[in-house]
Amino acid sequence: MSTDMIAEARERLLARAKREGLSTVGYDVIDSPIGPLWVALGPKGVAAISFGREPGEPELRRLVRLFGPGIIPDRRRAAPAARELDQYFEGRRHSFDIPFDLRGITPFQARVLRTTSRIRYGELMTYAAVAHKAGNDRASRATGAAVGANPIPIVVPCHRVVASDGTLGGYGGGLDAKRYLLAIERTEVPTGGWPKRGS
Amino acid sequence: MREATLRATAARTFGELLERHEREIFAYALRLTGSRHDAEDLYQETFLAAFRAWPPPHRDNERAWLYRIATNKAIDRTRRRRATVSVDDLRLAAPERDGVTVLDLANAIRLLPAGQRAAFVLRAVEGRPYREIALTLECTEEAARTRVSDAMKKVRAAMR
């Protein structure tokens, strides 16, 4: 019994599942310079990106809540997102054309992440500024939590959100990954971030 | 490849179920059918049936659930084809008597209750160990032996 045999059988199984409307989300694990990424495509575009080979608990719960259990491995379906991510990592893509689907999160988190999604390539915004733009000046900490729980990192560029003192803040994929992404966009990132302005 | 047996929680998505069990179910289908083509069909039918019947009925027993679906699908296929090819296998289980046809045997098997039928096919056709039959049918090894023995008796009686 070879792996090919299984792969071919799986292809045909997935085609049938799709024809029967049993498949709602297709995912694939793609390799990237910051490690494997679990990428899931739903009916309205990229529904989730997780660091690693499988989604985290809350992420999977959100997807199942939104789309039911029909979440299946589907390389072909995930391919457009994989292609754009590859181009991004090669520095050849500055914005993503593929739509993303931020449903299944709180209205506050959605506002924060929509603001985050408008930060342009190579630019930075502080958590406080994101909180302000999202309409709640005083919710800086909650903004940090909302950014940290971003279900679609990279495409929704939460790595461009940093702390007011110039340090990098946090990142779901680890600070090395955040530094790497910023370095793609800005050529060089000091370890730990940037020195505080005026210091 | 993750160890399916070590997982305490049931699969939450079709993908999880597939990634955990597709290899062993395909291997099982190959053993049950003896051909790649039929094994692929059986693998497909098994997982599609599992998807349609979602969620798995027992939290810790999705593996046995899949085996049971595969077993029943295999029996259905055998039954559908009994006048053509697959029944040849059943000849192995037939007592040596004049005038007994494979078709007689297939009919006798068809009359068995589902649990006994699966037990009979797994044992008499596939020659699988009782330990595995018990796992597939979600019963104790002793119960598996009883089912096979009861099935044998019924089949013999039906063919007398």
What are the chain A neighbours of B52 within 8 Å (beta carbons)?
Answer: 20, 22
For residues B116-125, give the mean pLDDT. 79
Cα(B10)–Cα(B64) distance, integer angstroms: 12
Indicate whether A10 and A83 sit together in one domain: yes
Mean pLDDT value across residues A80-106: 96
Q: Tell me, yes or no, whether A74 and A45 share the same domain.
A: yes
Mean pLDDT for B2-31 is 80
Query: Which residues in chain B have Cβ-Cβ distances shorter than 8 Å to A6?
Result: 22-23, 26
Shared domain check, A84 and A120: no
Q: Is the peptide bond before B95 cis (omega within 30 degrees of 0)?
A: no
Answer whether A6 sits within 8 Å of B18, measured CB to CB. Answer: no
Residue B6: per-residue pLDDT: 46
Contact of B19 with chain A, judged by CB distance below 8 Å, is answered with yes
How high is the pLDDT of residue A128?
Answer: 92
Residues of B in contact with A28 (CB under 8 A): none
Whichever domain contains A165, its CATH number is 1.10.10.10
- The verdict on A74 and A7 lying in the same domain is yes
Got the DSSP string for A120-180?
A: PTT--EEHHHHHHHTT-TT-HHHHHHHHHT-SSBTTB-GGGEE-TTSB----TT-HHHHHH
Q: Measured between alpha carbons, how far is B145 from A45 in angstroms, rounded to an integer? A: 53
Domain span(s) for CATH 1.10.10.10 in chain B = 81-160
Across the A/B interface, how many CB contacts are shorter than 8 Å?
Answer: 64
Q: Is B47 on the interface with A (CB under 8 A)?
A: yes
3-state SS, one letter per residue, for chain B: CCCHHHCCCCCCCHHHHHHHHHHHHHHHHHHHHCCHHHHHHHHHHHHHHHHHCCCCCCCCCHHHHHHHHHHHHHHHHHHHCCCCCCHHHHHHHCCCCCCCCHHHHHHHHHCCCHHHHHHHHHHHHCCCCHHHHHHHHCCCHHHHHHHHHHHHHHHHHHCC
* Contact status, residue B71 vs residue B43, Cβ threshold 8 Å: no
Report whether B31 contacts B126 (CB < 8 A): yes
The mean-pLDDT minimum among A121-125, B18-22, B58-62, B155-159 falls in B58-62
Q: Is A11 on the interface with B (CB under 8 A)?
A: no
A165 is known as an active-site residue: no
**Domain extent for A157:** 107-186
Nearest by CB to residue B18, choosing from A1, A20, A73, is: A73
Q: Which residue has the higher pLDDT, B136 or B144?
A: B144
Percent of chain A with pLDDT over 70: 94
Q: Judge if A119 and A156 occupy the same domain.
A: yes
Do A78 and A112 fall within a single domain?
no
Q: What's residue B139's pLDDT?
A: 84
Domain CATH number, residue A54: 3.30.160
CA distances to A83, A146, B7, B54 from A79, rounded to whole Å, are: 6, 28, 30, 27
Is residue A162 situated within a structural domain?
A: yes
Helix crossing, B102-110 with B62-80: angle to 10°?
Answer: 140
User: Mean pLDDT, to the nearest integer, of B23-45?
Assistant: 89
Co-location of A141 and A76 in the same domain: no
Do residue A14 and residue A66 come from a single domain?
yes
Say yes or no to pLDDT of A184 above 70: yes
Q: What's the domain count of chain A?
A: 2
Does ipTM surpass 0.90 in this model? no
d(CA A140, CA A161): 12
Tens digit of each residue's pLDDT (9 = 90 or more) over A20-75: 999 999 999 999 999 999 999 999 999 999 999 999 889 999 999 999 999 999 99
Q: Which of A34, A113, A129, A158 is catalytic?
A: A158
Which CATH architecture fits B81-160? Answer: Orthogonal Bundle (1.10)
The mean pLDDT of A92-111, rounded to a whole number, is 95
For residues A126 and A71, membership in a common domain is answered with no
Q: Is the pLDDT reported for residue B114 higher than 80?
A: no
Q: Does A70 touch chain B (CB under 8 A)?
A: yes
Quick check: A17 and B43 CB within 8 A? no
Kindly tell me if the per-residue pLDDT of A8 is higher than 70. Answer: yes
In this structure, are A115 and A152 located in the same domain? yes
pLDDT confidence bin for B155, thresholds 50/70/90: confident
Please choose, from the candidates A84, A79, A160, A165, the residue with its C-alpha nearest in 3D space to the C-alpha of residue A115: A160
Q: Is residue A194 part of a domain?
A: no
Type of residue numbered A44: K
* Structural domain includes residue A95: no
Return contacts of A54-61, CB within 8 angstroms, 24+ apart: A54/A29, A58/A149, A59/A151, A60/B12, A60/B13
Task: Report yes or no on A125 lying in a domain.
Answer: yes
Q: Please report the pLDDT score of residue B100 as a whole number.
A: 59
Element (H, E) at A45: strand A45-51
Domain finish residue from A89, A124, A143: A89
Residue A73 lies in a domain: yes
Residues pairing with A156 in the sheet: A153
- The SS3 assignment for A118 reads coil
Q: Flag whether residue B100 sits within 8 Å of chain A, measured between CB atoms.
A: no
